């Protein structure tokens, strides 16, 4: 009987400790934690303001999400920031009566510094208008085998930017396609 109590108590303590640590550290979604851990291991962890927090990069002043030094601000605080839209967008590519492929995209939006929380409150509306543009783009045949052509991506980015500006009342200044992939059926 005593032999069963010790493993059970240790298991409960371990589980409780894990839950406590998750709550203490912010309790983000598991995939966010994995991305953060992977970024940190790769030496690319960034703070919410966009500045690199890696111990070996103290000479980097303020960096934008692409990792370029913020030279054009002359040492001033960044005037804009990037907000990742939660969850990817999945768009079916239909030819005839059959789904030929799926296109998966991740998007971020550019906003003036300090309005990050406004974007999160608008996210359901943004997802709706973005999906409308993505489906229209797919139905026009722009997600074909050569979907990464400059012309096709320019049309898509322009459409996404226009609906984002309208839906946000002009707060969103640009839409960035951070990931895009096509998976043929």
Quick check: 21 pLDDT over 50? yes
What is the arithmetic mean of pLDDT over 86-104?
Answer: 93
For 97, the token pair is: 């009566």
For 91, the token pair is: 């768009």
For 141, the token pair is: 């045949």
Quick check: 85 pLDDT over 60? yes
Q: What is the largest CA-CA distance in the chain?
A: 72
Give 115's pLDDT tier (boundaries 50, 70, 90).
confident
Distance (Å, rounded) from C-alpha 131 to C-alpha 122?
A: 14
Distance (Å, rounded) from C-alpha 174 to C-alpha 109?
A: 6
Distance (Å, rounded) from C-alpha 122 to C-alpha 108?
A: 13
Residue given tokens 């895009």 in the structure block: 180
What does the pLDDT read at residue 34? 43
- pLDDT averaged over every residue in the chain: 74
pLDDT in tens, 50-61: 433 333 333 333
**What DSSP character marks residue 150?**
H
What is the arithmetic mean of pLDDT over 45-51?
Answer: 41
Distance (Å, rounded) from C-alpha 119 to C-alpha 67?
A: 23
What does the pLDDT read at residue 157? 96
Closest CA to 175 of 106, 77, 73, 115: 106
What does the pLDDT read at residue 44? 45
Quick check: 133 pLDDT over 90? yes
> Under DSSP, is residue 32 helix (H, G, I), strand (E, B) or coil?
helix
Distance (Å, rounded) from C-alpha 51 to C-alpha 45?
A: 9
Contact 128, 99 (CB under 8 A): no
Closest CA to 120 of 173, 78, 83: 83
Q: Domains in the chain, ordered, with CATH? A: 2-73 (no CATH), 80-184 (3.30.479)
């Amino acid at each position: 009987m005593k032999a069963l109590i010790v493993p059970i108590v240790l298991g409960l303590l371990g589980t409780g400790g894990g839950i406590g640590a998750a709550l203490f550290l912010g309790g983000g979604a598991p995939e966010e934690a994995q991305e953060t851990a992977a970024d940190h291991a790769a030496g690319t962890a960034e703070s919410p303001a966009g500045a690199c927090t890696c111990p070996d990069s103290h000479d980097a002043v303020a960096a934008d999400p692409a990792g370029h030094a913020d030279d054009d601000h002359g040492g001033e605080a960044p005037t804009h920031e990037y907000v990742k839209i939660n969850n990817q967008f999945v768009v079916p590519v239909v030819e005839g009566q059959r789904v030929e492929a799926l296109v998966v995209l991740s998007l971020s939006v550019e906003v003036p510094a300090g309005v990050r929380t406004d974007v999160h409150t608008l996210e359901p509306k943004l997802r709706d208008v973005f999906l409308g543009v993505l489906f229209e783009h797919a139905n026009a045949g722009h997600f074909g085998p050569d979907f990464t052509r400059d012309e096709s991506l320019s049309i898509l980015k322009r459409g996404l930017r226009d609906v984002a500006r309208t839906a946000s009342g002009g707060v969103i200044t640009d839409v960035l396609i951070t990931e895009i992939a096509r998976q043929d059926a």
